[in-house]
Structure 1
Amino acid sequence: MALQFRTPGIGAGDLPAPTIPGAADRRTETDTLLARVENAMHDLSGTTAPSAAQRAALHHLRAGGGRFRARLAIDAGLSLGIAPARIAAVAAAVELVHNASLIHDDLQDRDDRRRGRASIWVEFGDAVAVSAGDLMLSAAYGALAAGGSAAASLVDLLHQRIREMIRGQDSDLTRPDQYLDLAEYETIAAGKSGPLLILPLEMSLVLAGRDDQRAIAAACGRHFAIGYQMFDDLRDVAIDRAGGALNAVLVLTRSGHSSPGARVTDLAIGHFHQADTLSRSLPADCGRLLARSARKLSRQLTGDTRT
């Protein structure tokens, strides 16, 4: 049986696009760029004489979502002083890949609901869902055409991270659950969702000429991805047990751990702490949105209700 490793949408619910303290003009810039990103994603997916795949892609985008990865790119780009057009290019590219992965994941896992409505494969059929996801992947590369002199580097980086994400998906679908240990679980968690949490920071650093900080950005995204998946697993033990989904608590239970829930809680807090610490070490405080999100989730696990 193929594992069903769910990657919930970050930004809604538990991660409600945190508000960063600062001037009103910063919030206005963010809102303006988010609107620009939304328009770019729709335009790149195709709005004139749309095919079935285009209609499906636009239907998916109109369902909303937290746009957390776009917000990471926007906040990092503004902190680093990157031109708005290039910030929007990175934000749109990462969000397009993320949404393409959701369409394909739902199809592979046969998940029939996404964002409160029927999944694309349910609404439009399997073949159109494949094409819609492919279209959005292509659109992501198209978005990076606005990356200026760094466009080639950004395209190469996007390919590398998509390749890692696909490797994580392969591990999800092919590795029998009963043979997993915690290290393998973390590798799958990091591989499936880590690359698209790393990219917004990584690409922003490339545009700012700070390639020397990319390794730190990669570590930030990896720790956050693992911590968030564990956070989600703690809430969904019964559902995941019934559905055969990969879950950290169940992995430790099968290994004979006496207090698997408590251990996963401690591990998640540790990963969030690492993500917070590393994010705050990035130049110009460009990782502060990821850091704040990590602290927020960690406090939820410890029962601290501060915002």
Structure 2
Amino acid sequence: MSVDSYVRTSDHRAAGFSPAARLDANSDLLMLVETLMHNLVGTGTGSAAQQAALTHLQAGGGRFRARLAIDAGLALELEANQIIAVASAVELLHNASLIHDDLQDRDTLRRDAPAVWAAFGDAVAICAGDLLLSASYAALAGAGTRVSDLMTLLHQRVRALIAGQDADLAASQNHVNLDDYENIAAGKSGPLLALPLELALRLANCSAHAPIAVACGRHFALGYQMFDDLRDVGGDREKASLNAVLVMESLGSDQPELDVAMHADRHFRTSAVLASQLPMNCGRLLAGTAKRLSQRLPHKEKA
């Protein structure tokens, strides 16, 4: 299950976020992000890949990475066009990765609907993911300033994401220790959780804080993957998919679920602390989400 499922607009108030004017700004910017993403993919009658990509975007999702970019951009007082560019770029990139992940993992459902490959076929799914990936670069061009630097950073995070996915595909459940698991899990999703903050910080001339954002994204990614693994043990066992609980079992843990919950809690708490250290409170959405997810973990004390 995606982290998007746990993040909604109302979460801003629950986390102690700002008053109505700021919430309105978040909502308005998110609508503009949606419009830009659809326009970049293309409207009207187009290729099968275009229709598949649009169908995927229209299926919804919480747009968590876009929300991270919007909230950070507002906190850092970026221009609206910069916020929209960053939010659209990271969200398009994330959705491209989902289409390709579902194809590689042969997952037939995404957001309670057929995955793109299941609905349109493998070849169209590859092209649809590529289209969203290309659109992410086009979106980032709208930032107007420091575009070459931003695109280089985007490429670096795509490269890291691909390395993480490659490691996951090559992993064997029976030959993975906890360090291996964490490196794979962090590589698969950490780069795209840190990227909204990294791009916003770079546009705000606050790049000195980027290492904190990277560490924050890594710990959040690990906490969330373990959080998700606790809910998917049965399915992952059947598919022989990488799962933290199964890794703990293979390492001889007598209480693997509790061990995973403890590790997840530690990562969520670390992510929240790191996010609170970012300038102008620009990491507060990630911090608030980490705290709420930590509270949803099962009992974390060993018997």
State the TM bucket, normalised to the shorter chain: over 0.9
Among all aligned residue pairs of Structure 1 and Structure 2, give the percentage whose two residues are the same amino acid: 54
Find the partner of 1:16 among 4, 8, 23: 8
Q: Secondary structure at the match of 1:11?
A: helix
Give the whole-Å Cα distance in 2 for the aligned partners of 1:48 and 1:151: 29
For the pair 1:62 / 2:62, whether they are aligned, the reply is: no
- 1:19-50 residue CA offsets vs partner (Å, 9 max, x unmatched): 14222110111011000000000000011441
For the pair 1:260 / 2:256, whether they are aligned, the reply is: yes
For the pair 1:50 / 2:46, whether they are aligned, the reply is: yes
Kindly state the Cα deviation for residue 149 of structure 1 after the two structures are TM-superposed: 1.8
Find the partner of 2:140 among 124, 131, 144: 144
Residue pair 2:172, 2:242 contacting (<8 A) in 1 also: no
- 1:141-191 residue CA offsets vs partner (Å, 9 max, x unmatched): 000111112111110010000000000110011122211000000001100
1:4 alignment counterpart: none
1:3 alignment counterpart: none
Deviates more, 1:67-76 or 1:174-183: 174-183
Deviates more, 1:162-171 or 1:231-240: 231-240
- AA matched with 2:7: L
Give the count of matched residue pairs: 296
2:235 alignment counterpart: 239
- AA matched with 2:227: F
Listed as ranges, the matches of 1:141-180 within 5 Å are: 141-180=137-176
| Structure 1 stretches lacking a partner, 5+ long | 1-7
Kindly state the Cα deviation for residue 257 of structure 1 after the two structures are TM-superposed: 1.5
- AA matched with 1:19: H
Listed as ranges, the matches of 1:46-125 within 5 Å are: 46-125=42-121
| Structure 2 stretches lacking a partner, 5+ long | none
Q: Secondary structure at the match of 1:157?
A: helix
- 1:107-126 residue CA offsets vs partner (Å, 9 max, x unmatched): 11111111111111111111
Give the whole-Å Cα distance in 2 for the aligned partners of 1:160 and 1:123: 31
Give the whole-Å Cα distance in 2 for the aligned partners of 1:28 and 1:16: 14
- TM-score, scaled relative to structure 1: 0.94
Give the whole-Å Cα distance in 2 for the aligned partners of 1:298 and 1:16: 17
- AA matched with 1:260: P
- TM-score, scaled relative to structure 2: 0.95
Give the whole-Å Cα distance in 1 for the aligned partners of 2:160 and 2:246: 25
Deviates more, 1:222-231 or 1:40-49: 40-49
Q: Secondary structure at the match of 2:289?
A: helix
Listed as ranges, the matches of 1:174-253 within 5 Å are: 174-253=170-249
1:5 alignment counterpart: none
Kindly state the Cα deviation for residue 16 of structure 1 after the two structures are TM-superposed: 3.4
Q: Secondary structure at the match of 2:297?
A: helix
Give the whole-Å Cα distance in 2 for the aligned partners of 1:9 and 1:270: 20
Give the whole-Å Cα distance in 1 for the aligned partners of 2:109 and 2:297: 27
- AA matched with 1:148: G
Pairwise CA RMSD: 1.2
Runs of 4+ in 1 over 6 A off after TM superposition: none
Deviates more, 1:127-136 or 1:42-51: 42-51
Find the partner of 1:288 among 255, 279, 284: 284
Give the whole-Å Cα distance in 1 for the aligned partners of 2:236 and 2:121: 26
For the pair 1:299 / 2:292, whether they are aligned, the reply is: no
Residue pair 2:30, 2:66 contacting (<8 A) in 1 also: yes
Give the whole-Å Cα distance in 2 for the aligned partners of 1:144 and 1:282: 22
1:38 alignment counterpart: 34
Deviates more, 1:55-64 or 1:168-177: 168-177
- AA matched with 1:107: L
Give the whole-Å Cα distance in 2 for the aligned partners of 1:282 and 1:24: 23
